Structure formats: structure tokens, C-alpha cells
Amino acid sequence: MAAFESPVEANFLSEFHENKENVEWLEKVTAKLGADRLSEVSALYPMLFERIIAAMVARNRSAEIFHLIELYLSYFDDFDLANILDAELKDEQKLLEAWPIYMYGRDKQGHPVFYDELPSSDIANLFKVFTAAAAKEDEAKNSESDKMNSNESKHDDADDEYGFSFDSVSRLWRRFRFKFYARLSREKQLESARRETTILRHVLVWDLRNFSYRRFAAHFSMLVRIGKTVITDEQLMFPETMHRVLLVNAPWSFALLWKVISTVIDTGTATKIKIVGADESLAAMLEVIDIAQIPNRYGGEGPWEVRLGLTAGTKNADVNVDDCKSI
């Protein structure tokens, strides 16, 4: 087993309480929302409110704290995030094959490593699979007349071009991503309990090995729309959770896409991102992840099978999340 360093956020909570402004804002938030409401959210996303407060205070944007929390809670309720782990998504395995995401191993500080292989996927198939699944979910929820009215109210130019309701499909991929992030959060809780420390962050590896500028250009407007939606949502819903981002196997043609994506990335997050070509990818990963924790497909020696949407390389099955004393 690899020797893990102490995670950079190990002392997050004690450092949070050392800042008087942080504590005052937490008291205001607790008074406004109630302790029960805070506990409901924190059960799934530990220290969520503390992380929002700390991030905004550090950026001298404390006036936005209540607005961000209210927006967060609107998503939490709308998508029923308290129960998202039990949610059934139509054709979930097909969704994962179209948009491959999974956890594999840990970095040198014990953070889960999250792999996202969307840039290397068949984009046309992605739209097809998510559209079909969204249609099934709509059919299950609505009567025929309700669907007709819904489609008329949501019809726009993008729908004409791609033949589906952007709002309907975007709701599905939000649920798809939120469910995965809930699993990721639970993995951090379990790992925190096992290591008797606090782990709130993860490493993201974004694989660009099969990125095609031509394929990207053919779906430019929709991919930009998806990208902005996903990045904006996830910066709001999962604050201060990104430890490092590695964009690996990047071809030179990725530069155009990056110019678009980078416009909606928080400045603090941008400093954690490293983009490397195929020749440098394994070396960049080894800076933060031991080779025994890296999948074979990336040149590593990890012994576990990749499990789409789930985790490979964990021994947490015997840990009860209710026993996570450090969170």
C-alpha cells in the first residue's frame, strides 16, 4: 500500500474557526436556515456551508454568501440531492458508456481520483443516448398533453438544430453528474473515516486522447452550452473540492476549446489546472498519483478493473459512513 501524505485540507475546520469573520457568517447562516437544514445538507456534502463561507470571505465577496447559499439550496431541493444516491436514471449504464466517468485509486494525499473521458467520446452518440433517456423520463412523468405543452414552451433554436429540448436533456445530465458527485462525496467521507483525517477534495483527470477538432466544431454551439452549464453548476454545487486538474493527452487542436472553457472557470480553480500532451501525461500524473494507483490505460500499474460511474481501488466496503468522526 502506498504511503499517503496528509491532505492539504486536513485542518480545514480548525482553520475555518480561527477566522472570526468565518464564524460570524456561519452563525448568520445557521440562524437564518436552522441547524436541521444545515445538517440535512452536510450529511451528504460535509462542511458545505463552511466551504462556501470560507471561499467567499477569502475572495472578499462575503456579500454574496446568502445569495449563493439560496441558489445552492434551490438546486438541492429541485434535484432532491438528499436522496440522489437512490435515484434511478433511465438507461444509466448507457449514459455512462456515452459519457464515461469513474473513480480510480487515490492521489498521494489520499484524495479520490476522478476520470472524465467525455472529450474522447462520440459526441453524436452522447446526444443520441441522453436524448433517448430524457424522453423516457419525460414519458414516465407526464401525460401526452403535458409533454406537448412542455415542448412548445421550451422550444428554441438549439432544439431545432439538434432535435431535442435542451432543458429536458440538461436536466438529465445534471442529475447524472450530481449523482456521481454524491458518490464521490461519500467516497471522501469513507476515506476520511478510514484515514482518521479530513478529505474534502479530489483530483480530476480529463482525457483528451481522442479529441477531434473537426468533431468538436461540428457540435460547437451545443458543446459550449453544455460546458458552460456543467462548469457553472459544479463550481456552485461543489465549492472548494478540486485539488488538482490534469488535462492529459491534449492535442494542439484543443487550444480553441480551452479558450472557450476557461472563460467560465473560477480564477482559483484555473491555477490548479495543468494541460499536457500525450508524451508528458504519465509524468504529470506521477507528480500527484503513485503509479500503482493509475489505471493501465494511462500507463499505470493499478490492479483494479475500471467501473464506470463507480470506484476502483478502495477497501471502504466495511466502513459505515455514520462512523465518519472526522467530518
75 falls within a domain: no
Residue 264 CB neighbours (<10 A): 14
- Output the pLDDT for position 267: 72
259 falls within a domain: yes
What is the C-alpha separation between 12 and 197, in angstroms, rounded?
10
- Output the pLDDT for position 323: 39
251 falls within a domain: yes
28 falls within a domain: no
47 falls within a domain: no
- Which spans in 198-265 are helix H? 213-218, 220-237, 254-261
Domain count, the chain: 1
25 falls within a domain: no
133 falls within a domain: yes
- Output the pLDDT for position 259: 74
CA-atom Rg of the chain in angstroms = 20
Please give the chain's pLDDT, 327 residues, in tens: 456 789 999 999 999 999 999 999 999 999 999 999 999 999 989 999 999 999 999 999 999 999 999 999 999 999 999 999 999 898 999 999 999 999 999 999 999 999 999 878 888 888 889 889 988 887 777 654 454 555 544 444 445 455 556 777 888 989 999 999 999 999 999 999 999 999 999 999 999 988 877 777 676 676 677 777 777 788 788 888 999 999 999 888 787 777 767 776 777 777 888 999 999 999 999 999 999 999 999 999 999 999 998 877 655 443 343 433 333
Beta strands 112-116 and 273-275, pairing class: unpaired
- Output the pLDDT for position 311: 78
- Output the pLDDT for position 164: 57
| CA distances to 95, 177, 245, 291 from 85, in Å | 16, 11, 25, 31
- Output the pLDDT for position 203: 96
- Output the pLDDT for position 4: 75
Collect all residues with Cβ–Cβ distance below 8 Å to 283 and sequence separation of at least 6.
276
Residue 281: give its domain's CATH number: 3.40.525.10
35 falls within a domain: no
Domain carrying residue 140? 83-323
